[in-house]
A = this chain, B = another copy of it.
Amino acid sequence: MTPTTPTPTAEENWLRLDRQICFSLQAASRAFNGVYRVVLKDLGLTYPQYLVMLVLWEQGALPVKKLGEHLRLDSGTLSPLLKRLEAAGLVRRERSARDERSVEVRPTEEGAALRERALQVPRRIAAATGFDLDEIRDLRERLDQLTGALDSAALDETPGCS
């Protein structure tokens, strides 16, 4: 059939782009990002900023460290992001009195008020997926399971764990 392509080994088949689940994953993640970009434009938020506000709406106020644990982000990402949210008047940052190392982040009045307008966001996003609630839940559970497996595998693989 294709003399230039000798029968590919099983290993070579695995290198095909359309076999890479990580690629499908990233494509889906970016597709979500695109929809969020449109939906969140009204609120003046990027998608990561929206995630930060979600946590703050749930928790009221919490230190940068805790915020990073919830979102799996480190201070290198959060520090500039939070500065932009502060510049936009949506959050306030203040050193904790108990522990001067820690910085408490809390929504301002304006930031809290934004929640009202955000209530419609999940419905619009869910509609865009074309999935019903059970499918979404099922997919989410698989993904979380996948993340858990990858995280523990990363610990094993990490070279510098002497």
Q: CB within 8 Å of B: which residues of A?
A: 11-12, 14-17, 19-36, 38-39, 41, 47, 51, 54-55, 57-58, 70-72, 115, 118-131, 135-136, 139-140, 142-147, 149-151, 153-154, 157-159
Q: Which of A21, A27, A143 counts the most B-chain CB atoms under 10 A from its CB?
A: A21
- Pull 27 A–B residue pairs with CB atoms less than 8 Å apart, ordered by A: A11-B120, A16-B58, A17-B51, A17-B54, A17-B55, A19-B122, A19-B140, A20-B122, A21-B136, A21-B143, A22-B32, A22-B33, A23-B51, A24-B144, A25-B25, A25-B28, A25-B29, A28-B144, A28-B146, A31-B154, A34-B151, A34-B154, A38-B154, A41-B159, A128-B153, A129-B149, A129-B150
